[in-house]
Amino acid sequence: MTDLSTFPITRKWPARHPERLQLYSLPTPNGVKASIMLEETGLPYEVHLVSFEKNDQMSPEFLSLNPNNKIPAILDPQGPGGKPLALWESGAILVYLADKTGQLLPREPARRYETIQWLMFQMGGIGPMFGQVGFFVKFAGKDFEDKRPRDRYVNEARRLLAVLDGRLAGRD
Ligand SMILES: N[C@@H](CCC(=O)N[C@@H](CS)C(=O)NCC(=O)O)C(=O)O
């Protein structure tokens, strides 16, 4: 039986199946990236809800695993060398799960880096910019009088979508 008790996060979110990969998340745009990957790869996992309403992401137990107080985060009891591995940042989690299962990330170097390039495009461009659009169009920022921040992020999001459309045109 894998012992995860040395990880303080398991005190707040006990592992009922400590042999399975532990996912700490919430169905947000970044959260679902890890869930979709786990479903696609077919890895057995146990999910723990990190409630933003309860500010769970700021709890000492969560911060012990991810000092950046963001979901998703994972704890894999069967990490490299058979030792537990804690990991956060959705892009790093996707690469790790791809490598662990040998799925969805080519091993051939040119195609591997091409795939990582589009992952970085998502992580550094789409994710943060769409997040800003959400803030300025839908949430607290929508009431701001100065519309320049909103317009800046909307224009950048449109530009990124055009890049994505160009890449996807004519592909499955
Ligand atoms: N770059 C991070 C971003 C993660 C992120 O922004 N997560 C949001 C939910 S989508 C979050 O946990 N927010 C909680 C907070 O900021 O307190 C990743 O890709 O994992």
Instruction: Render pLDDT for 19-38 as a digit per residue (tens, 0 to 9).
Output: 999 999 999 999 999 999 99
Which pLDDT does position 38 carry in this prediction? 98
The token duo for 50 is 């990190």
Angle at 136 between CA 35 and CA 117, to 5 degrees: 45
Give residue 13's pLDDT.
98
In sequence order, what are the beta bridge partners of 49? Answer: 25
- pLDDT confidence of residue 3: 86
Mean pLDDT of the chain: 97
Name all residues whose Cβ lies below 6 A of ligand 1.
28-31, 52, 57, 69-71, 89-91, 123, 127
- Ligand 1 atom with least separation from CA of 89: 20
Q: Whose CA is nearest to atom 6 of ligand 1?
A: 70
CA 24 to centroid of ligand 1, rounded, Å: 12
Binned at pLDDT 50, 70 and 90, residue 133 comes out as very high
Q: What percent of the chain has pLDDT over 90?
A: 98
Q: Are 57 and 71 in contact (CB under 8 A)?
A: yes
- Ligand 1: which atom is nearest the Cα of residue 72? 20
Ligand 1 centroid to Cα of residue 163, in Å, is: 24
- Whole-model pTM? 0.96
Enumerate residues 6+ apart whose C-beta is below 8 A from 18: 1, 2, 3, 4, 10, 77
Measure 37 CA to ligand 1 centroid, in angstroms. Answer: 17
* C-beta separation of 61 from 23 below 8 A: no
Q: Whose CA is nearest to atom 10 of ligand 1?
A: 30
